[in-house]
Structure 1
Amino acid sequence: MEKQIIIVYFFIVFFCAPVFSENKKLTQFGYYGQVGVPLTAAIISLYDEDYIGFGEVIEGAVFTSLATYALKYTVREERPDESDKLSFPSGHTSSAAQGAAYLQFKYGWKYGLPAYAITGLVGYSRVQANKHYWHDVIAGALLGTAIQYAVTVKGYSFVSIAPYVGDDEVGLFVSAKF
């Protein structure tokens, strides 16, 4: 079954993308993919009752978003379509790559490869829609992957959540490191 999934995603990325190159459905896919990949990662963690992993995917998403926008407003590169929005790096791609990286680091290539294939299609959709250059997409993918690597693999977490039970109370203890 795993080989079949890989073959299907390989087919989608390498054969279907050129067919949809001028299609608005591919652009829409990019919008959905940026949210769908990290959301799927979070749902899988919750389904597996992996609350630490759920925290990691949420933390990775927050830091990826913050880093993406910090870079956008630092670099201030114009988009190829000359719209008012900033180009570098691609936020759609960084978001999708962050979710894909989490799935790969936490569950292996069985989940990671299809998620990275979707991320590639999200990036392609941004270039074909004339919203980003290829270097924006590559930078976004590297950024999302690197941040999730730091959180999931290296354990650079800034937030800790722990349940506590007292004599007459139950709650959560949340702490943040700065």
Structure 2
Amino acid sequence: MKRYLFTLIALILSFSLFAQETEVTGSRKAVRTTGDVGAVLLPVAGLTAVLLQKDWQGLKQGVFSGVTAIGVTYALKYLVKKERPDHSDNRSFPSMHTSTSFAAAAFIQRRYGWKWGLPSYILSTYVGWTRVYGKKHDWWDVAAGAAIGAGSSYIFTRPFAQKHSLTLSPVAGDGHYGIYASMTF
């Protein structure tokens, strides 16, 4: 299993080397594309690790982490309506690419340790950098996405959720929507 995860992470890191080569030529679009690939490959690496190990508890934790990161990020994009640096739309804050890649990196680190987590965090940081370099986000958009993604995984991925008896439930009524959270200290 570790061999497969290592192969996926090596593949991901090779895209970052390609991007460094591309940066020399000055093509922002090519650099953004490598960031797009990294943002997709990190969650795929986490899912692959879960499936190869038949880690069904990990699958549940990863799904909750990913859905939370994506949900919070989308909600903020539509509430904040910050214009992108390239003026293409007003959905800049926070960065979805960074949110999903940091959720995957934090999940991999929490579930499988720093040996796999460190390369994942390095790639996530690279993904965030590509978004700033590509003029799709400002640095604070990326920082917020990273915090949302990592925070989502830290909440749901063992040992935090078990240790603190974390309970999250959706709440809806009379035009109001939210999440009820309860935990012990």
Normalising by the smaller structure, the TM-score range is 0.7 to 0.9
Structure 1's unaligned 5+ residue stretches are: 160-176
State the partner residue of 2:177: none
State the partner residue of 2:61: 56
* 2:142 counterpart SS class: helix
Task: Tell me how far apart the structure 1 counterparts of residues 26 and 62 of structure 2 sit (CA, whole Å).
Answer: 31
Instruction: Output the TM-score relative to the length of structure 2.
Output: 0.73
* 1:88 counterpart SS class: coil
Deviation at 1:158, TM superposition (A): 5.0
- Matched ranges for 1:1-178 at <5 A: 16=20, 19=24, 22-152=27-157, 153-155=159-161, 156=166
Does the 8 Å CA contact 2:98/2:146 hold for their aligned counterparts? yes
Deviation at 1:21, TM superposition (A): 5.9
Task: Tell me how far apart the structure 2 counterparts of residues 132 and 113 of structure 1 sit (CA, whole Å).
Answer: 24
Residue 58 to residue 157, structure 1, CA distance change in 2 (3 Å)? farther
Instruction: Output the TM-score relative to the length of structure 1.
Output: 0.76
Deviation at 1:109, TM superposition (A): 0.9
Task: Tell me how far apart the structure 2 counterparts of residues 70 and 117 of structure 1 sit (CA, whole Å).
Answer: 27
Residue 23 to residue 88, structure 1, CA distance change in 2 (3 Å)? closer
Deviation at 1:144, TM superposition (A): 0.3
- Higher Cα radius of gyration: 1
Task: Tell me how far apart the structure 1 counterparts of residues 65 and 24 of structure 2 sit (CA, whole Å).
Answer: 33
* CA-atom RMSD in angstroms: 2.7
Does the 8 Å CA contact 1:151/1:157 hold for their aligned counterparts? no
Task: Tell me how far apart the structure 2 counterparts of residues 85 and 58 of structure 1 sit (CA, whole Å).
Answer: 28
Structure 2's unaligned 5+ residue stretches are: 1-5, 170-179
Deviation at 1:20, TM superposition (A): 6.8
AA in 2 matched with 1:26: V
Task: Tell me how far apart the structure 1 counterparts of residues 141 and 107 of structure 2 sit (CA, whole Å).
Answer: 21
* 1:130 counterpart SS class: coil
| Runs of 4 or more above 6 Å deviation | none
Residue 52 to residue 20, structure 1, CA distance change in 2 (3 Å)? farther
